[in-house]
Structure 1
Amino acid sequence: MPGGPTVRGVALSSETPARLRLWSLAAMVAAGLLLIVLSAVMAAVKEQVRVIGEEAAPRAATASDLYFGLSDLDAQVARMMLIRDDDRFAAAQADALSAYLRRSDEIDADLQRAGTDAAALRLADGLAVYRRQAWQALSGESLGYYTQATNTLHLELLPAATELRDASQDQLADAYAEKRRTETAGIAVAVVLGGTVLVLLIGTQVFLARRFRRLMNPSLIAATGVAAVLIVALGTVLVLQAKVLADARRDSLLPYLALSQARAVSYDAAADTGRYLLNANYQQDFDRKAGALSDGDAGLAALSGSDEVGKRWLGYRADHERIVALADSGKRAEAIGALTGIRRGDAAFDFFYFDSAVGVVAERRQEEFAVALRDSDRLLAGWVVVPIAALGLVIALVPLGVRRRLAEFR
C-alpha cells in the first residue's frame, strides 16, 4: 500500500531497540570495568607511595645511619684510649664516653629497625664482639684489644653495614620501579579502556542522532564529558606525582644517602687521626679516605653542593697533618691536646665545625624529600574514590539518556 511501512523500515524499527540496548550495555560494562581497574590502580599507587615513604626510604636511611654510627663509635673509643690515663683530659674523656654511649644506643635502635635481615643479624653479633674488645682495651688490659676491635669494625661490621645499605637501596629502587610499572599500567588502561568508553558513548549518541534525528542528548553528552575529564585528570595526576617523587629521589634522597655515606667516611678518617697516635700505620688509611672526600664527584663539596663544606674538611685535614707532625717530632701530649682541644684550630673543634655544615645540608635534603612525599600524597588524595564516583555517574547517565528513546518502541 502506498505510504505503508516498507519491509526495510519494519526491520530497522525492530532492530533499533536491540541495537540501542547493545550500545548502552557495552558502554556501561566498559565504564564498570574502567571503574574497577582505575580504583585498583590508584589504591595500588597510593600504597606504593606509602611503602616508599614509610618503609623503603627510612630503611635506606637507617642503613646509612648504621655505617655512620659505627664509624663514630670507633672514633670515640680511639679518643678514650688516648686520654684514659691523663687527668688533664678528664672533661674530654667524659665527653667521649657520653658520645660513645649515645651512639651505641642509636646503633641498637637502628639494628632493631633493620629487622632480621642476615646482614643485620651479622652486625648484631659482630657488634657484641666489638664492644667486648673495646671495653677490654679501655680497661687497660692491652692495646692489642683495641687493634682487634678496630679490625672487627673494618673487616666485619662496616662490610656488613655496607651490605645492608646496598640491599636497602636496592629495595628502594625496586619500590620505585614497581610504582612506575603500576603508573604505566594505569595510564595505559586509562587510554585504552577509557578510550573505549568514550567511543561507545559517542557511538551511542551517533546512533541516536541517525535513528531519531536528535542531535543533542544531554545525559549522554554529560556522561561523555565526565568520562573524558576523569581520564585526562587521572593521567595528569599519575604523571605529576610520579615526577614529584622521581625528582625528589634524584635531587634529595639519593644525594642525602650519598652524603650520609661520605659523612660516615669522614668520621672514620677522623678516627684515623686518633688511631695514628696509637699506631702510625693508620696514616695511609687516613690519606685514602681523606683524598676520596676531597676530590671528584664523590667529594664532600660535590655531594653537599657547598664549597664551604669542602673548605671545612680541608681545614680538618690541615689539623690532622699538624697532629701527625707533632707526634712524629715526639710531642705526643701536644698532639693529643691538638686532637681533643675545643678551640678553633684544634681537631675536635674543626671537625665539629665541618660536621655541622654537613648536617645542615643533610637535614635540608631530608626535609625536601619529606615535602615531596607530602605533595605526592596530596596529589593522590581521594583518587581511590574519584573513579568510583565519576564512572558511577557515567553508568547512571547512560540508561537515563536512552530511556525515552526505548520507551517509543513499547
Structure 2
Amino acid sequence: MTATIPASAAPAAPTPPAGRGASAAARTRAGRLRAVGPVPRLRLQAGAALLLLAALLVTAVLGFADTVARVHQLTAVSEPRAAAAGRLYQALADLDAQRAKSLVMGYSAPDPADPTAAPVLVDDGVLAALTAQADQRDASAALAQLAAAEPEQVQGLLNALNLYDFWTGTEEYFVGTQADPVVGHPVAGAVDNYAQADALLGSQLLPAVDALLGDADRQVSQDRAAAHDAALAYAGVLGGLGVATVLVLLWWQRDLMVRHNRVFNRPLVAATVCVAALLVGTTSALLGAAGEVDSAVSAGYTPYARLSQASVAAADAEARQSRWVVDVDYRSALAADFQGDAARVKQLLAADTSPAAAVVRQRFDAYLTSDTGLRQVAESGDVNGAALRLTGVGRDDAAFSYYDFSVHLGALAAADAAAFSAHASAAADDLSGWAAVSAAGLGVAMLLVLTGVRPRLREFA
C-alpha cells in the first residue's frame, strides 16, 4: 500500500531571504551586460569615442571661425569706424579754432606816444590758414572712411559742410580784402560770417558727428562683448567635450586591461595625448583671446576715445579764446563757454592716472595760466599785447602753451591707439591657425582610435 503524504506536510519551496529581490534584478541586468560579447562592446566603445571626437572637431572648427569673425568685426570694422568719427570730430573742432584765429590778424594799433611809428604786422594768419587746410583734409579722409557704413549721415554732413565752407570763405574774403587791418579789430562782415559758421557748426555739424560717434562707440562696446563672450563660451564647450573625451578614452583603455589582459593600447594612448594637448591649447587660446579683446578696448580704445573728446573740448576753448579777443560785445558769454570747455577737458584727463596723462594735465594747466595773462592784458586795453599773447611763440604765450599741450595730448592718444592695435593683434595671433590645427589633430585622433580598435575586433571576431 502506498502512503499518501498530506499536502500540508509537503516541503515548501525555498523562500529567498528578505531584501534579496532587488539585488537579484540588478544581478540579472549585470548578467545581461556581461552577456554582451567583446566585439559589440568594442564597437560601442569605439563609436562613443569617435562621436565625442567628431563633436570636438565640429565645435573647434566652428568655434574658432566664429570667434575670429567676431574679433575681426571689432578690430577691423567697428573700432576703425569709431576712430574715424573721432578724427572727424577733432578736425571740425580744430578747423573752427583756426577760423577764429584768422579774425585776429592785422597790424599793430597806432602808438599814441609815437604817431609816426610804422605799424608792425602782429599776425598774418598764414599758420592758421595752413592748419585749417590740414583739418579740411583730415575731415575729408574721415568722411570717406565713414561713407561706406553711413552714407545718409555722411551726405547730410557734406551738405552742412558746404554751407559752413561758404560762411568761412566769406569770412576769409572780408579778412583778406581789408585794407591795412588793425590787429584785434576785424571788419564787421568777417565777424558776422564767422559767427554764422560757428553757429552752424555748433547747432548741426558737431551734434551730427557726436551722434555718429555715439553710435560707433556703442557698436564697439557691443562687438567687444560679443567677441569676449563667444570666446569664453566656446572655451567652456570645448573644455567640457575635451574632458569627456579624455575620460572615455582612459576608461576604455582600463576596460581593455581588465577584461582582455592588455597592458595598454598604444594608438589609444596616442589619441588620448593628442586630445589632451588640443584641450589645453584650444581653451588657452580662446581664453587668451577673450582677455586680449577686453584689454584692447579697456586699455586702448576707451582712453583714446576720452582723449579725442578732450581734444575737441580744448579746440572749442581755443576758438572761444580767439573770438573773445575780437568780439567785445560777447565777452561774458564767450568767457563762460571757455570755462565750461576747460572744465570738460580737466574731467576727461582726470580719468587717466598714468604718468603721461599727468604731464598732459600739467601742460593744460600751463595753457590756462597763459589764458589768464592774456585776458588781463586785453582787459587793460592793450590790444597789441593781447594779440601777441594769443599768437606768439614765447613760453608764456597762449599759442605756444596750447601747442605744447596738444603735442603731449596727441602723443598720449597715439600710445593708446598703439595699445589697441597691440592687443588686437595679440587676440588675432591667439586664434590664428587653431581651427586647422584642431581639425588635423582630431582627425589623427580618429584614425588612431580606428587603428587601436581594429586588431582587437579581429582578435575577438
Query: What is the TM-score when the length of structure 1 is the normalising length?
Result: 0.91
Question: In structure 2, what is the equivalent of residue 289 of structure 1?
Answer: 341
1:333–1:344: structure 2 CA closer, same or farther, 3 Å change rule? same
Aligned counterparts of 1:127 and 1:204: Cα–Cα separation in 2? 73
Question: In structure 2, what is the equivalent of residue 222 of structure 1?
Answer: 270
Question: In structure 2, what is the equivalent of residue 148 of structure 1?
Answer: 196
Residue 242 of structure 2 contacts residue 279 of structure 2 at CA under 8 Å; is this kept in 1?
A: yes
2:166 to 120, 127, 132: 132
For residue 170 of structure 1, report the CA deviation from its aligned partner: 0.8
1:307–1:14: structure 2 CA closer, same or farther, 3 Å change rule? closer
Question: In structure 1, what is the equivalent of residue 156 of structure 2?
Answer: 122
Listed one character per residue, the Cα deviations across residues 260-302 of structure 1 (whole Å, up to 9, x for unaligned) are: 21012111111111011233131110011112323x5654875
For residue 248 of structure 1, report the CA deviation from its aligned partner: 3.0
Aligned counterparts of 1:185 and 1:218: Cα–Cα separation in 2? 33
Listed one character per residue, the Cα deviations across residues 189-248 of structure 1 (whole Å, up to 9, x for unaligned) are: 212322332233223223322331213111111111111121122111111222123123
Question: In structure 2, what is the equivalent of residue 407 of structure 1?
Answer: 458
Within the alignment, does 1:176 sit opposite 2:232 as a pair? no
Output aligned runs, 1:328-407, within 5 Å. 328-407=379-458
Aligned counterparts of 1:231 and 1:54: Cα–Cα separation in 2? 29
For residue 13 of structure 1, report the CA deviation from its aligned partner: 7.4
Output aligned runs, 1:163-242, within 5 Å. 163-242=211-290
Listed one character per residue, the Cα deviations across residues 105-127 of structure 1 (whole Å, up to 9, x for unaligned) are: 11011011112525433322221
1:207–1:76: structure 2 CA closer, same or farther, 3 Å change rule? same
Structure 2 unaligned segments of length 5 or more: list them: 1-29, 109-118, 175-188
Aligned counterparts of 2:355 and 2:155: Cα–Cα separation in 1? 32
For residue 21 of structure 1, report the CA deviation from its aligned partner: 0.9
1:297–1:150: structure 2 CA closer, same or farther, 3 Å change rule? closer
Question: In structure 2, what is the equivalent of residue 105 of structure 1?
Answer: 137
- Give the SS at the match of 2:434: coil
Residue 52 of structure 1 contacts residue 175 of structure 1 at CA under 8 Å; is this kept in 2?
A: yes
**Structure with more of its chain in helix, by fraction:** 1
Aligned counterparts of 2:296 and 2:61: Cα–Cα separation in 1? 26
1:185–1:302: structure 2 CA closer, same or farther, 3 Å change rule? closer
Find the structure with the greater CA-based Rg: 2
Aligned counterparts of 2:309 and 2:443: Cα–Cα separation in 1? 51
Query: What is the TM-score when the length of structure 2 is the normalising length?
Result: 0.81
**Percent identical residues:** 27
- Give the SS at the match of 1:255: helix
Aligned counterparts of 2:351 and 2:254: Cα–Cα separation in 1? 66
Within the alignment, does 1:76 sit opposite 2:98 as a pair? yes
Residue 93 of structure 2 contacts residue 316 of structure 2 at CA under 8 Å; is this kept in 1?
A: yes
Aligned counterparts of 1:327 and 1:285: Cα–Cα separation in 2? 18
Aligned counterparts of 1:315 and 1:332: Cα–Cα separation in 2? 22
Listed one character per residue, the Cα deviations across residues 79-111 of structure 1 (whole Å, up to 9, x for unaligned) are: 112216889558641111111111101101101
Question: In structure 2, what is the equivalent of residue 307 of structure 1?
Answer: 358
For residue 180 of structure 1, report the CA deviation from its aligned partner: 1.8
For residue 12 of structure 1, report the CA deviation from its aligned partner: 5.5
Question: In structure 1, what is the equivalent of residue 45 of structure 2?
Answer: 23
Aligned counterparts of 1:258 and 1:9: Cα–Cα separation in 2? 72
Residue 77 of structure 1 contacts residue 96 of structure 1 at CA under 8 Å; is this kept in 2?
A: yes
2:210 to 162, 168, 176: 162
Question: In structure 2, what is the equivalent of residue 40 of structure 1?
Answer: 62
For residue 312 of structure 1, report the CA deviation from its aligned partner: 1.4
For residue 50 of structure 1, report the CA deviation from its aligned partner: 2.3
For residue 63 of structure 1, report the CA deviation from its aligned partner: 1.4
For residue 10 of structure 1, report the CA deviation from its aligned partner: 12
For residue 383 of structure 1, report the CA deviation from its aligned partner: 0.8
Residue 300 of structure 2 contacts residue 420 of structure 2 at CA under 8 Å; is this kept in 1?
A: yes
Residue 224 of structure 2 contacts residue 297 of structure 2 at CA under 8 Å; is this kept in 1?
A: no
| Number of matched pairs | 402
For residue 20 of structure 1, report the CA deviation from its aligned partner: 0.9
Residue 76 of structure 1 contacts residue 100 of structure 1 at CA under 8 Å; is this kept in 2?
A: yes
Question: In structure 2, what is the equivalent of residue 246 of structure 1?
Answer: 294
Question: In structure 2, what is the equivalent of residue 5 of structure 1?
Answer: none
1:88–1:215: structure 2 CA closer, same or farther, 3 Å change rule? farther
1:136–1:84: structure 2 CA closer, same or farther, 3 Å change rule? farther
Residue 310 of structure 2 contacts residue 348 of structure 2 at CA under 8 Å; is this kept in 1?
A: no
Return the letter of the residue paired with 1:121. Answer: Q
Return the letter of the residue paired with 1:139. Answer: Y
For residue 78 of structure 1, report the CA deviation from its aligned partner: 0.5
Residue 339 of structure 1 contacts residue 348 of structure 1 at CA under 8 Å; is this kept in 2?
A: yes
Return the letter of the residue paired with 2:337. Answer: D
Aligned counterparts of 1:65 and 1:304: Cα–Cα separation in 2? 25
Structure 1 unaligned segments of length 5 or more: list them: 1-7
